[in-house]
C-alpha cells in the first residue's frame, strides 16, 4: 500500500511541517505571479 501525502505529513514533526507549508504557500504565490505575467504578455 502506498503512503499518502496526508499520512507522510502526519509523521513529520511540527517545525518541519510549518516549513513545508510556508514553502508551499511561497511556490503557489510565485505560480500565480507567473500566470498573471503570461496573461499580460498574451494581451500585449
Report yes or no on 38 lying in a domain: yes
Give the CB-side neighbour count of residue 36, counting CA atoms within 13 A.
6
Report yes or no on 7 lying in a domain: no
In this predicted structure, what is the pLDDT of residue 18? Answer: 93
The 10s digit of each residue's pLDDT in 3-36 is 998 898 889 889 999 999 999 999 999 999 999 9
Report yes or no on 36 lying in a domain: yes
Domain with 21 in it: 13-43
Number of domains in the chain: 1
Whether the pLDDT of residue 44 is over 80: the answer is no
Report yes or no on 29 lying in a domain: yes
Report yes or no on 5 lying in a domain: no
Residue 41 CA to residue 4 CA, distance in Å, equals 38
C-alpha to C-alpha distances, 2 to 13, 17, 18, 31, 40, nearest whole angstrom = 20, 20, 24, 28, 41
Report yes or no on 31 lying in a domain: yes
Residue 1 per-residue DSSP state: -
- Is the whole model's pTM more than 0.75, yes or no? no
pLDDT band at 42 (very low <50, low <70, confident <90, very high): confident
Whether the pLDDT of residue 43 is over 90: the answer is no
Residues making up the chain, counted from first to last: 44
Amino acid at each position: 500500500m502506498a503512503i499518502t501525502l496526508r499520512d507522510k505529513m502526519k509523521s513529520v514533526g511540527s517545525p518541519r511541517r510549518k516549513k513545508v507549508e510556508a514553502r508551499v504557500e511561497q511556490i503557489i504565490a510565485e505560480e500565480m505571479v507567473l500566470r498573471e505575467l503570461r496573461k499580460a504578455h498574451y494581451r500585449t
